[in-house]
Structures are given as structure tokens and as C-alpha cells.
Amino acid sequence: MDHRSIMSGKRRGPLAMICRAGLWLASIPYEVAVRQRNRNYDRQTAEIQQCGVPVISVGNLTTGGTGKTPIVCLLAKWFRQRGIRVSIVSRGYGRGNADANDEAMELHARLPDVPHVQDPDRVAAARLAVEELEAQVILMDDGFQHRRLFRDLDILVIDATCPFGFGYPLPRGLLREPMNGLQRADAIVITRCQAVTSQEIKSIQQTIMGYNAEAPVFTSNHTPIALLEYPNAVLPLKIIENQTVGVVSAIGNPEAFEMTVRQCGAKIQSSRHLPDHDPYSPESVAALQKWARSLGDEVAGIVCTHKDLVKLQTDRLGGKRLFALQIDLTLDDPEKLLHQMIDCIAEKAEANTSANDTEMNEADIDQTTG
């Protein structure tokens, strides 16, 4: 039984109702624990630590994919264009024994000049980036609930196609914490707005305002810009326009990805959903190859996400071409408020660097005169 269909209430019947009741009971101790943890940080009984440079956190209120990666890429590019050394730190969820997980591999492909440090201890990761990589700014990916590392700017990402996790904490819904967590956000970005109506966007904005009327709320679209074919070919989207395709994804919100594929003009004959951050074991790949071979000659290829392609590392699946959809973020920010916030962080980073350089020069002078 599909977990999301149960949480959303789409699945009806006595068995689904019993499952929802059981999940709701299981969510009570989780919510109590999360509330207590947040209370400890709010009252400063839990220590918040700094790493010596400005930190921007980009995170979710819900579990699953909300479209953080394009935002992290956008921020990293802004800093690099300004000549500021930026590093990304993240927990590295789902990497197992590997050096990096799928998100880190995708970010490396998109941002080869931006280092990425993965460690469950984000404070240690940030300090390593500062001390060894000489980072001037830290981007903490998926950091909204990781409160131990001080951040100068907390950006919360909300997916318009599933904004508030069906209204319940895990495991009854997808909320990582209660809705009042919205109060901590300094800025909020609603993603995938192209996939919902303007009235739905207004409803999301009104809900946000009920918890946080101070933070600016930005809308954005996930815009497909190209197809990627392993190892490094960039192809036009017209290849799948008016074509029948299969879809493979191991992400938190596969329905939103399939909607994007359809917006490119493709017709989806069949799809396969794997668990979020699935490592694509040999058994899973063999099953996918068998599925791909069964699709027939009318299927022009298989479409996956960039995160899937960096793990599959092939240009064929079951004899059919494999493409990843490259997606960029188009941000609606007419007053450039987010730019202003980022400029403040950049100025702080530059001031820190200048101050450190001055201290080092003074120390060198002292040693020379001494």
C-alpha cells in the first residue's frame, strides 16, 4: 500500500483508516520530542555554536524533495560571482559507506568549484570547511532542523505541490516538526509554483502569514532547461517533446517530477518509484532494466532526475536511452529582497576576511619587531 496515498487520505476503506490511526498514534511521541528539542534551543538551554563565518541554512519543513538543490546552486553561484569562497555542508543522508550521497554528487556536477563537506556533525563540517578550505561563507543544505550550528540567514523551502506535509508530523504526515516552526524562517521560498493554481499559491501564502508575517515570501518555478546524457552530454528538451517515455526516480516527491516531465511535452507510458536516496543496488538496476525492456519500441527513452543519473552512471537502461532532466530555479523577486539579504551576508564575509587579514599582518609585525 502506497504510504503517501494513506497519509494524504486518498486511499479509502477500513484498512487505510486503521493505518492512518496507527500512524497518528506513532506521531504523538515524535511530535512531543521535537517540540521539547525546539524549546531547549528557544530557551538557550541547548548550546548553539558558531563556526567563525556567516552561515546560510536552506531547509524544509517537510521530509522529501522540496526543490532545495536548485536554490543551493543559485546561492552558491551568487557568491562565486562575487569572488567569495563558499562551501556547502550537509549531513550526507543515505550515502552509506560511500564518500558522498546523491545530492552531493549532483551538486559537484553542477558546481565543480564549490567544495561540499558531508558529516552528521554539521558544526564539525562547517569548522573543517573554514579551517581547511578557507571558506568565507557556509551554505548548510537541509539545515532547518539542525539548530546546533548558528546561522545568519534561515531560508525555508516549501513545495507548492505538497506544502505542509498533509498537515501531520511524521509518520502520520510529512512534517518534520509542527507548523509553528515557520516562525524561525528569515525568508521563505515556495517552489514548483508552475504546477499549481494561483489560488493554491495564495492559500499557501495565507497559511504562512498565520505563523510568520515578517519573513518575505518568494515564489519560484522549476524550469527544465536541458537533458543530460551520461557522462557529460547536454541535449535539447525537444528530444522528448511529443515522445512516449518511461520515468524512473528515487526522490521524495516523484509525482511532482513526473508533472515536470509532462510539461516538457513528453507522454509517460510507465514509471518506477524507488525510495528517496535509493542507492540503486545491482538487484534494483537489474529489475529496472527488465522493466525498461518490457516497455516496447514506442518508448523513446527513460527520463530520470539528475540525482538518479549520478548514481546510475549509464546512458542506457534496458537498451533504451537514459536522460536526466536538468532543472534550474526561476525566482520571482521583483524587489530583489533576497538579493539584498545575500548582499548583507557577502559584505559580512568580506568584512570578516579583511579583519582577519589585518590581525595576521599585525601579528607578523609584532613578531618582526619583537
DSSP assignment letter at 277? T
Retrieve residue 43's grid coordinates: 530557551
Q: 71: closest CA among 186, 164, 191, 234?
A: 191
So where are the chain's domains? 3-42, 55-215+333-356, 224-329
- Helices 102-110 and 68-81: angle between axes, nearest 10 degrees: 40
3-state secondary structure of 87: strand
CA 110 – CA 5 distance, rounded (Å)? 33
Give the residue-averaged pLDDT of 194-200: 95
Architecture of domain 224-329: 3-Layer(aba) Sandwich (3.40)
Inform me whether the pLDDT recorded for 272 exceeds 60: yes
Among 4-18, 79-93, 199-213, 275-289, the least confident range: 4-18
Q: What does the pLDDT read at residue 78? A: 95
DSSP category for residue 240: T
User: Considering only 92-106, 111-125, 154-168, 257-271, which range has the smallest mean pLDDT?
Assistant: 92-106
- Same topology, domains 55-215+333-356 and 224-329? Answer is yes
In whole angstroms, give the CA distance from residue 119 to residue 54: 19
Please, where are the H alpha helices in the chain?
3-8, 14-42, 68-81, 102-110, 122-133, 198-211, 254-263, 282-293, 306-312, 337-369
pLDDT digits (tens, 9 = 90+) for 7-35: 888 888 899 899 999 999 999 999 999 99
Whether the CB-CB separation of 196 and 160 falls below 8 Å is answered with yes
The pTM for the full model equals 0.89
- The residues, any chain, with a CB within 8 Å of residue 215's CB and separated by 6 or more, are 156, 185, 186, 187, 188, 208
Q: What CATH number matches the domain at 55-215+333-356, 3.40.50.300, 1.20.1070.10, 1.10.3720.10, 3.90.1150.10?
A: 3.40.50.300
